[in-house]
Structure 1
Amino acid sequence: MLARLPLFTLLASAAAHPPTYGGHGPPGNDDLTVQTSSGRVHGKIDTTEPDVRQFLGIPFAHPPTGDLRWAAPQPLSQPDQDVEAKELGPSCMQFLNTNASSVYLNQVLEYNLQGLNRTGDISEDCLRLSVWAPNKGGHRGRGRGRGKEHGRGGKAETLPVLVYFYGGGFSTGGMDVPAQIPTQMVQRTQDHIVVSFNYRVNIFGHPNAPGLEDQNVGLLDQRAAVEWTRDNIAAFGGDPSRIVIWGQSAGSISVDYYSFTYPEDPIAAGMSLDSGTSLSALTSADTAQSNFTFVAENVGCGGFDDDASGRLSCMRGVDADKINDFIATYAKSAQQPALGFRPVVDDKVVFSNYSERMLQGKQAKIPAIIGTNTEDGVPFAPYDPSGPDPALAEQGLLRTFFCPATESARLRQQTGLDTYRYLYAGNWTNLSPAPWLGAFHSAELPMLFGTHPNFRGESTELEYETSHAMQDAWVAFAREGVRGLQSEGWKEYEAVGEATVREFGDGVAAKDVSIAGLEGKCDGAVPA
């Protein structure tokens, strides 16, 4: 193992970026107005979670419309504005293909925007984030391993921060997904802050357009949100040197991408990868950039054969709904070839050689949690209401999630980066209404966010215990990094076959297991 760097010395760069919100310290217990670089933000408290201050839908960049469509996000600086931050607001432009049966349309709607079986509230003006912070400034926390509860003068110490990157295959997703709203998590723990944000997806996030400077503007949105958090979180009582970036599925892949894009200035002190790494194959295969041109030709921007800039200018003038509706109609018709807009390998934001870059040390030197669910592949096998073909479900698990996680953990361990691995195995009736769903892809999110009792009846005692064990581990990681996980009894991942994988929800809340059987089905990042 290489010498380990102390967790909080990794963020010296954060100190070079003082907050821009006007010098206010952590707010008082009743302070629902917070000064930020985006303005004076006015939040709210709900009676159902009275110990959580919610600041919802704060703009962190200028609306990416007109000439800013398909441009890198432009940060806001409007501290004199008043911002009513009491609603999550619309998600970025996207659509839900309701003509194709799936687990998420037929069984569990809580992973869709607003819990609907149709497209939820969307807008091109969507670059907003939300902050959930304890109402008591951390005074009511559980106190386990938190150190002193008060600083000098009786003031509460600043709190660690989890910044969440949602999933959705780079095509869907947003803050307004019922399973992943953290109010209940913060209400219970009272010792951390959660930030969630919107980023551009589909053609608006990854256009792959000829002549465009930045093809991965959705990933650039993510960096802008983390920078805003660094610069403003102290005003909410947060500690900018204790930020953990945490993603699920496409959000997990994004977090890993991020660690290679900003290896010298990650801002984050750690990262958590739920079901996806940079080795998951989810990049665009459209090397000819034909998809964008095809859409342009069908929304009134044809005839620009050798004039890429003219086509872009025309497309920036087309109503966003017209572009979105055309792609949605084409997808619902099941025409071939299918259209797809995913991250583009540009060797600037998304690289072609992640394994090589890991071995070369071109990744942020921060600790990581890397995990998968036992039935991650179930939703990606052909849908059958009686359950998918087991072999196809396992192939989906191995190819996209488990083998990339195994290889990423191995390479990190080989290069001396602290890595902790988990397997989520819970199978609860109210979360998995069909028994064959098991711990399907995304099923860990209600456990971590505390939303598990919200959808199909009360949770069991073991379900609550598992949820609390997972929440406590993630918060401990944000609070104290490696030492925090050690305080939870979580062992560092050592090697294939070792009983150093933390398994959640299989008969007990948490235990350490070997997953050698599954690991043996992998050949590097792909199935053997």
Structure 2
Amino acid sequence: MKPLCSTIISVWEVLGASLGTQQEPSSCGILTDPSVNVPGIGTIHGTTLTPNPGVRQFLGIPYAQPPIGARRFAPPQPATVPFPNSLKTTTQLPPSCMQHLRKQPPSIYTQEINEFNLQGLNTTSPRITEDCLTLSIWTPSELSPTHLLPVIIFIHGGAFSIGGQDVPYQVPAQWVQRTQSHIVVSFNYRLNIFGFPSAAGLPEAEQNLGLLDQRLAVQWVHDHIFAFGGDPSRITLWGQSAGALSVGYYQFAYATDPLVTGLIMDSGNEMLDITVSSDSRRGNFTAVASQFGCGNLSAAEELACMRNVSAQDMEDFVSTYTQAGSRLAVPFLPVVDNRTVFDNYTALALSGNLAKVPVILGSNAQDGVPFVPYSPGGVNTTLADIATLKIMFCPAFKAATNRLKAGLQVFRYGYLGNFSNISPEPWMGAYHSSELPLIFGTHPDFRGNSTALEYATSQAMQDSWLSFASAPSSCKATGMAKQNWPAYASVANGQVREFGVGSTGALTGSTKAIEALCPSIFQP
């Protein structure tokens, strides 16, 4: 008799075959046409390019109407469909949302590793626009018409202020080229004042516009990924840093309708407390409004006036004040609205008010390095260790134990890699975000080729993420057993997967001593 999980996987493969695909198979039973007919939307033309000939890419698909004019500072609306003509995507990644790169104080991201910035520049991309709500899809160039693939949706980080699809280290083509067995989707969402305005003229439930963008993007993928060979019953939502916070928020915001069957949080989760009430931040929106002739107005008039201000002028003003270190230094972030963001996640978890799906959750050994003062010779390691503990490790520990108490499957990891082409200075170690080039497969693209251990670590992380995404929700443990990664069963006996040192498959209980250092609010 087949194991239950094997039976479930087989059923979905058969179901995919019976449902068919949205384009005719070639004579050899393999789909190779870089064009896809998406029911209700139209034909989307993709491209296949060297040096990854085994990958089809569909770049810049609109999932929402342009958030401009009256739609600025408003919840996203689904893209107008069907497209009046077929959509021909380009070979260039789409423009990112309005943003500015904070250059002061200097950090490792501006001084050492620009590949985490848009287009690898020491600035934001020259291609930014308010009309930015698009997503991109990477699939194997040859697809079987009878086998649907698991889907991983990536939410980029960047402190809810910067980032997008146009980040050199975060393009998944090399990962898909290597595995030929999954689909990756990346998308833009509104940032800073455009995504999190805290405007008095907006209802409380419409303040976190960037998070509402994220939900609409997930909905689009769930509804349409079948046409690209993806399995809508096996979608994993993965985020890093602010993207990981977003995934944590998502699990509670859509407790009864998650649309996904797995969640991955890299160096961030809902227990990293950056939120306040919208009331406490409304002064920031008004401060910006007053600079553009929108001051001394009613809340509704202020909002209407700000919808007519040049997006670039507004961004430039916020940038100037941010660089100056004014009270707008961290002005526009998610606020507690009790719709997308809540104020007591432990209580919600213990009462079972979260999506009942398995999670991967972890952090990096030197996550705190970018969060302390930078100097070319290094950082204060004591301060960096404190930042690692309090900003990333302890919230991850608490998020994991909350989910254990809620009866969910949790897979914990720690990333310890210190590779010279990712961390050009030894003191940088496994800094915040340094795991991403390993997962995306972009680690050998800059500063020389990778070491054998680096390639092995990359493949171990890629294979683990893919095993997690490939298994149905009820069978994650079976899939992860293939990667020598048992579920984190308890605080006393749970094991954590280590990546990046020695054996990439190491399991360790050494986190117990570190967990004991966490403040009481993070203890189970």
Q: Same fold (TM over 0.5)?
A: yes
**CA distance in 2 between partners of 1:399 and 1:378 (Å):** 12
Q: CA RMSD in A?
A: 2.3
Report the 3-state secondary structure (helix = DSSP H, G, I; strand = E; otherwise coil) of the residue aligned with 1:522: coil
- Aligned position for 2:138: 132
Report the 3-state secondary structure (helix = DSSP H, G, I; strand = E; otherwise coil) of the residue aligned with 1:246: strand
Whether 2:496 is the aligned partner of 1:490: answer: no
Q: 1:295 aligns with which of 288, 313, 319?
A: 288
- Residue 274 to residue 126, structure 1, CA distance change in 2 (3 Å): same
Task: State the Cα distance separating 1:25 from its structure 2 match.
Answer: 7.3
Read off the aligned partner of 2:138 and give its amino acid letter.
W
**CA distance in 2 between partners of 1:405 and 1:524 (Å):** 14
Deviation larger for 279-288 or 112-121: 279-288
- Aligned position for 2:32: 30
Deviation larger for 275-284 or 100-109: 275-284
Q: Check the 8 A contact 2:201/2:302 in 1, yes or no.
A: no
- Aligned position for 2:371: 380
- Residue 265 to residue 77, structure 1, CA distance change in 2 (3 Å): same
Q: Check the 8 A contact 1:63/1:124 in 2, yes or no.
A: yes
Task: State the Cα distance separating 1:195 from its structure 2 match.
Answer: 0.4
Deviation larger for 314-323 or 507-516: 507-516
- Aligned position for 2:268: 276
**CA distance in 2 between partners of 1:520 and 1:396 (Å):** 16
TM-score computed with the length of structure 2 as normaliser: 0.91
**CA distance in 2 between partners of 1:308 and 1:448 (Å):** 45
- Aligned position for 1:60: 63
Task: State the Cα distance separating 1:156 from its structure 2 match.
Answer: 3.5
Read off the aligned partner of 1:226 and give its amino acid letter.
V
Whether 2:429 is the aligned partner of 1:416: answer: no
For each residue in 1:153-189, what CA deviation from the matched residue of structure 2 results, as whole angstroms up to 9, or x when unmatched?
A: xx44000000000000111110110111000000000
Read off the aligned partner of 2:264 and give its amino acid letter.
S
Task: State the Cα distance separating 1:119 from its structure 2 match.
Answer: 1.6
For each residue in 1:228-260, what CA deviation from the matched residue of structure 2 results, as whole angstroms up to 9, or x when unmatched?
A: 001110111000000000000000000110111
- Aligned position for 1:342: 333
Q: 1:509 aligns with which of 497, 504, 507?
A: 504
Read off the aligned partner of 1:227 and give its amino acid letter.
Q
Read off the aligned partner of 2:333 and give its amino acid letter.
R
**CA distance in 2 between partners of 1:238 and 1:432 (Å):** 35
- Aligned position for 1:46: 49
- Aligned position for 2:302: 311
**CA distance in 2 between partners of 1:422 and 1:199 (Å):** 27
Whether 2:148 is the aligned partner of 1:158: answer: yes
- Residue 248 to residue 337, structure 1, CA distance change in 2 (3 Å): closer
Read off the aligned partner of 1:33 and give its amino acid letter.
S
Whether 2:512 is the aligned partner of 1:520: answer: no
Report the 3-state secondary structure (helix = DSSP H, G, I; strand = E; otherwise coil) of the residue aligned with 1:252: helix
For each residue in 1:279-300, what CA deviation from the matched residue of structure 2 results, as whole angstroms up to 9, or x when unmatched?
A: 0012246633100000000122
- Aligned position for 2:198: 208
Whether 2:471 is the aligned partner of 1:471: answer: no
Tell me the matched-pair count: 499
Whether 2:225 is the aligned partner of 1:238: answer: no
Report the 3-state secondary structure (helix = DSSP H, G, I; strand = E; otherwise coil) of the residue aligned with 1:510: coil
**CA distance in 2 between partners of 1:158 and 1:498 (Å):** 37
**CA distance in 1 between partners of 2:477 and 2:88 (Å):** 38
Deviation larger for 372-381 or 387-396: 387-396
TM-score computed with the length of structure 1 as normaliser: 0.90
Deviation larger for 333-342 or 255-264: 333-342
- Residue 302 to residue 348, structure 1, CA distance change in 2 (3 Å): same
- Aligned position for 2:391: 400
Task: State the Cα distance separating 1:267 from its structure 2 match.
Answer: 0.4
Q: Structure 2: 5+ residue runs without aligned partners?
A: none
Read off the aligned partner of 1:88 and give its amino acid letter.
L
**CA distance in 1 between partners of 2:208 and 2:446 (Å):** 35
Q: Check the 8 A contact 2:321/2:328 in 1, yes or no.
A: no
**CA distance in 1 between partners of 2:102 and 2:250 (Å):** 29
Identical counterparts, % of pairs: 48
Read off the aligned partner of 2:286 and give its amino acid letter.
T
